[in-house]
Homo-oligomer: A and B are copies of this chain.
Amino acid sequence: MARGVGSSDGKRRPITARELARMIGVSQSAVSRAFTPGASIAAELRQKILKFAEEQDYHPNAIASMLSKSRTNIVGIVVSDMSNPFYPALIQKLSQGLQRIGLQSLLFNITKGSNIEEQLSALRRYNVDAVIVISATMLSGATLHWATEGRAAILINRVVEDADINCVCCDNVEGARAIADHFHELGRRRVAYVSGLSHTTTNLERQNAFITRIAELGMTLTGRVDGGEYSYEAGRRAALEIAAKNNADAIFFANDILAIGGIDALREDVGKRVPEDISVAGFDDIPMASWPHYALTTFRQPLDEIVTVVVGMLEDGSCQPGQPSSVRRISGGLIVRHSTGPLG
């Protein structure tokens, strides 16, 4: 049999609270209390114990603590798409925010090939204190419900209004309207829209708000293309499709990575000038959006605020089951760069 990770040989067993207690001549309870903030223990004794603990390299065993407290201090983070640079950035900030309040991040990567239910069953077996689902386009509503049932859960950038689920989400309507208004101010009148996954809530909100707004402004929707995924390549394909019809003077891509693919296709493959011939806007404000070649006009998702809100909900318990669920919309901001401009 393969020995594998975790086989016991080679690891010297760490010292336990009981052993440390015996050395010092106190009870195991005392050791436990020394490490429990606010526990009933004399300051003097606590110091003594902590000093010995330091010397003996004693560390409380978090596993045992989990078992007896039935609280793990672990948050499951469910992700489905790390190839969009927006998400690594979010995950990084999120995991740092969680670490700041003493929570660890257990990562769950959901992809097409994998057995989702089996992976998510780990959420239950590991007793994670909370689940944060980051735009898991792979998850059906039923799976989502099953995975989060009975525990604290927050969805980021996916909204389920009717179900009893907490959502934290950039204000997609605000963003899409801002882009529409911006196109209008630039004199663009014939605009197209490119979605990533058409059924995702982020897309539906952006798309509907955008189309509604351009109608209000008297502009024409010349095309609507679904890329099939939120990727650079999908953006390229969609842009080519739109360019073939040759009747749009502006394109709003559902996110930045699509938009960047779109810009490359327009310039490299069909020789369009961006922004003169066709203006392009995206959504997210990923790092590449500010690269000069793209200089992408976009609607910024405020990562820090999103993380702050999520961490806050975890901290104050407002995402606990039993608490009323809420949908928090975080306001973003239009970033105007050079991928949009007057007709020229």
- Residue A258 CB within 8 A of the other chain: no
Specify which of B8, B77, B121 is in contact with A70 (CB 8 Å cutoff): B8
Counting CB contacts under 8 A, is A220 at the interface? no
B contact residues around A264 at 8 Å (CB): 291-293
- Say how far A112's CB is from chain B's closest CB, in angstroms: 11
A82 at the interface (CB under 8 A from B): yes
Q: A88 interface residue, CB < 8 Å from B?
A: yes
Are A127 and B61 also in contact (CB < 8 A) when A7-B317, A317-B4, A322-B10 are? yes
- In A31-89, the 8 Å CB interface with B consists of 59-64, 66-67, 69-75, 77, 82-83, 85, 87-89
Q: Are B320 and A121 in contact (CB under 8 A)?
A: no
Q: Answer whether residue A219 sits at the interface, using C-beta atoms and an 8 A cutoff.
A: no
Contact mask A286-322 → B, CB, 8 Å, 1/0?
0110011100000000000000000000111101111
Contact with B along A231-264 (1 / 0, CB 8 A): 0100000000000000000000000000010001
Copies per assembly: 2
Of the candidates B8, B59, B119, which one forms a contact with A124 in the assembled complex, judged by CB atoms under 8 Å apart? B59
Interface size on A, residues (CB 8 A): 80
Given the interface contacts A83-B89, A96-B111, A114-B96, does A5 sit within 8 Å of B106 by beta carbon? Answer: no
Quick check: B72 and A82 within 8 Å, CB to CB?
Answer: no
Whole-angstrom CA separation of A103 from B291 in the bound complex:
38
- Given known contacts A2-B315, A293-B293, A316-B3, A62 and B8 CB-to-CB distance under 8 angstroms: no
Q: Can you list the 3 inter-chain pairs with the closest CB atoms, starting with the nearest?
A: A10-B322, A3-B317, A88-B88
